[in-house]
Amino acid sequence: NKKIPVLRKDFIFHPYQVYEARAAGADALLLIAAVLSNTDLAKLLKLTHKLGMNALIEVHTEDELARVLPLQPRIVGVNNRNLQTFEVDFDNTARLREKIPAEVVVVGESGLKTAIDVQTMAHIGVDAILVGETLVKSKDVYKKTAELVRAGRLSA
């Protein structure tokens, strides 16, 4: 049996939420650099690791990435969506990917809808993708998931 990893995708602000994630069986949680101070980000990351979980640290900009890299993250997610305009820009992931050390797992986030989008992320050099809205809006979640997974495997 393969265990599917569970990510708590929420706005984590308080250590209590990290304990909640662990108690709920999460393997990882989302820490969004844009909404956390450097101090809070460091504290929450340390607690997450102490409890045996991983943190997917989400960044949108070079400035956020510069704040995150000194923390030696294991996983960094680059959000393709501009949170001011809601436009999707895969070039953002390409730009930031170049600045992330090779040993860090890079996740492409937001705006991924098609097999071509998945292949684009693979070409950029991301290690994984995070898909939400596309699956929620899909009429056939199984079919859409299979399409995206197949594209990822073909790109590997």
Question: Could you state, in chain order, the average pLDDT of each consecutive group of 10 residues for the chain (156 residues)?
Answer: 85 98 97 97 98 98 97 97 88 96 96 94 94 89 92 80
- Does an H or E element contain 75, and which? strand 75-79
- pTM to 2 decimals? 0.92
Q: Is the dihedral of CA 68, 62, 153, 5 positive or negative?
A: positive
Instruction: Output the pLDDT for position 126.
Output: 96
> Hey, what CATH class is 7-155 in?
alpha beta
Instruction: Output the pLDDT for position 156.
Output: 66
Instruction: Output the pLDDT for position 45.
Output: 98
Residue of 124, 135, 52 whose CA lies nearest to 92: 124
Instruction: Output the pLDDT for position 119.
Output: 94
- Point out which residues pair with 77 in neighbouring strands: 58, 107
Instruction: Output the pLDDT for position 132.
Output: 85
Domain residue extents for the chain: 7-155
